[in-house]
Chains A and B, each alone.
Chain A
Amino acid sequence: GESVGLHLPTLSVQEGDNSIINCAYSNSASDYFIWYKQESGKGPQFIIDIRSNMDKRQGQRVTVLLNKTVKHLSLQIAATQPGDSAVYFCAENTGTGNQFYFGTGTSLTVIP
Chain B
Amino acid sequence: GAVVSQHPSWVICKSGTSVKIECRSLDFQATTMFWYRQFPKQSLMLMATSNEGSKATYEQGVEKDKFLINHASLTLSTLTVTSAHPEDSSFYICSAPQIQQGTQYFGPGTRLTVL
Contact = CB atoms under 8 A, between A and B. Distances in A.
A and B found bound together: yes
Interface of A: 1, 34, 36, 41-46, 49, 89, 97-105
Report, nearest first, the 7 A-B pairs whose CB atoms are least far apart.
Answer: A43-B106, A102-B44, A43-B109, A43-B108, A98-B97, A44-B106, A102-B43
Interface in B36-93: 36, 42-46, 49, 59-60, 91, 93
A102 B42 CA distance: 10
Contacts of A104: 42-43
B103 A46 contact: yes
7 contacts: A1-B45, A41-B111, A43-B109, A100-B95, A101-B46, A102-B45, A104-B43
Interface residues of B, number: 25
Contacts of A45: 106
A43 B97 contact: no
A100 B43 CA distance: 12
